[in-house]
Amino acid sequence: MSIKWNDHFNVRAEQFKPAYNREELTSSTSLQFIDRSILNETVTHGYDLGVMFHGNFFDKKLEYAAYATNENNNRNNFNFNNELLFGGRLIYNILGQHGYTMSDVTNSEEHQLAVGAARSLNKPIAAGEDTIIASSADVAWRYNGWSFLGEGDFIKNSTDDLETLGFLGQAGYFIVPEKFEVANGVIPLDVGVTNGYKFGGSLNISSKGITSSSRQIMACCSTVRSF
């Protein structure tokens, strides 16, 4: 169920991606690489059943989302555990409306710059289960075929006193507008990686409106560390 009252207040009650980190919230058709990074595999909340309130203010300059889900970290259809996940995300569009497409597919004539921050608390009801506090921050920019994405995440397991810190950085430029992309960046390792670095690259040929990856040189790096 999804209800829209106005630009300021909307609600959805269904299975959805909790509004946490930018990379996970970006559709697979809008990525610059064939898959998401090792950082995302470690920090993402996946799909959950729950309720989310969201909207925007100041002519879509400020966007917000707040949610509560049962947290099972997969495409769950039922509540198999006793854990509850609460969180929220704020986005401020400093210039233009960036949205959730990584590449500058349309060869933007004006700067599109957005910053975001998110925080979540996974506090279980049952005794003996871990309490997880996660924080994320990101910046995304596009202009005239250039693009940049930076994301940092910090996760603290307050039960086991374990901390995980990771970052993602990638930048690109379209060589042939909307047609040809050369990319250098992250290729994910196995799910659950808690210590590691990864670099990779790609070549993308596309037609406008079919894929977001086009005319771009990319540079990217990602790391995840637990301590």
The conformation of residue 174, written as its DSSP 8-state character, comes to -
The conformation of residue 130, written as its DSSP 8-state character, comes to P
The region of weakest confidence among 23-37, 168-182, 190-204 is 190-204
Q: Is the pLDDT of residue 224 over 60?
A: no
Q: What's the whole-number mean pLDDT along residues 7-14?
A: 92
Give the residue carrying structure tokens 């058709």.
Answer: 29
Give the residue carrying structure tokens 């990602």.
Answer: 222
Identity at 132, one-letter amino acid code: I
Greater confidence, 220 or 139? 139
Q: What's the whole-number mean pLDDT along residues 181-199?
A: 51
Size of the chain in residues: 227
* Domain encompassing residue 68: 2-169
The answer to whether the CB of 20 falls within 8 A of the CB of 28 is: no
12 burial via Cβ count (<10 Å: 0-12, 13-18, 19+) = middle
Does 42 map to a domain?
Answer: yes
Q: How many helices and strands (H and E) does the chain possess? A: 2, 13
Task: Select from 80, 77, 86, 91 the least CA-distant residue to 18.
Answer: 86
* Distance (Å, whole) CA 135 – CA 164: 11
The answer to whether the CB of 159 falls within 8 A of the CB of 45 is: no
* Distance (Å, whole) CA 40 – CA 62: 24
Domain count, the chain: 1
Task: Select from 160, 122, 96 the least CA-distant residue to 20.
Answer: 122
Q: What pLDDT digit, counting tens, does each position of 111-155 carry?
A: 999 999 999 998 766 656 678 899 999 999 999 888 889 998 988
The answer to whether the CB of 32 falls within 8 A of the CB of 213 is: yes
Does 204 map to a domain?
Answer: no
Average predicted confidence (pLDDT) for the chain: 79
Q: Is the pLDDT of residue 217 over 70?
A: no
* Distance (Å, whole) CA 25 – CA 51: 16
Give the residue carrying structure tokens 């996946």.
Answer: 46
pLDDT band at 222 (very low <50, low <70, confident <90, very high): low
At residue 218, the pLDDT reads: 55
Half-sphere exposure of 38 (CA within 13 A, CB side): 25
Q: Which two tokens stand for residue 101?
A: 């497409």
